[in-house]
Amino acid sequence: MTRVIKIENESDLSPEDRHIYKEISDTRGAVRGPFAVLLNSPELAARTAHLGEYLRFRSVLPDGIRELGIITAAIEMNCNYEWSAHVKHAMAAGIQTHVIETVRQRKPLENLSSEQRLVIDFGRQLIRTKRITEETYQNALEKFGTKGITDLISTFGYYLMIACVLNAFDVQPGEDSPID
């Protein structure tokens, strides 16, 4: 059970904060998951949504790369909600089932494309060791450029924060979600 109130209706907010609910709903189609709990601090929710909107919908990273990074962050953080929400997006972005299973089961990366290995290894290193090896950094820089690697690092950071919010507030996915 979620540890804080979920803000599920615009009317749950003060009149001066209702525009924030509408802005989040307009960019995402609904207010759910992390934003339903972040709206307990409306200004924080607005600022978080603004950054997330860039990373999800305007980043220079291709959809498949972005979603592969997100599900890597989700599994490394043991965040069921984030995993459940983004595994669907990863599949829609063309990430094959065997790649998703490699991430989910934290398997070695030898049977993946070099680009997939790079993204997953980059995320695993950053999350597990809090650093990136020079070789991995240079490979990512060569592949994605300065702007792309900045977006990749920021995507990991953003989704780690979202995982912290979801995990700390014990926000769980629906029963029909694709998790073990």
**So where are the chain's domains?**
10-57, 63-168
Say whether pLDDT at 180 is over 50: no
Say whether pLDDT at 176 is over 70: no
CA 94 to CA 109: how far, in whole Å? Answer: 18
Average pLDDT score over residue span 80-106: 97
Say whether pLDDT at 122 is over 70: yes
* Single pTM value for the model: 0.93
Average pLDDT score over residue span 7-36: 94
Cα distances (Å, whole numbers) of residue 162 to 20, 83, 97, 141: 18, 11, 24, 25
Half-sphere exposure of 160 (CA within 13 A, CB side): 13
Tokens of residue 69, six digits: 């990074």
Query: Given this model, what pLDDT does residue 174 score?
Result: 77
CA 12, 82, 141, 59 torsion: positive or negative?
negative
CATH number of 63-168: 1.20.1290.10
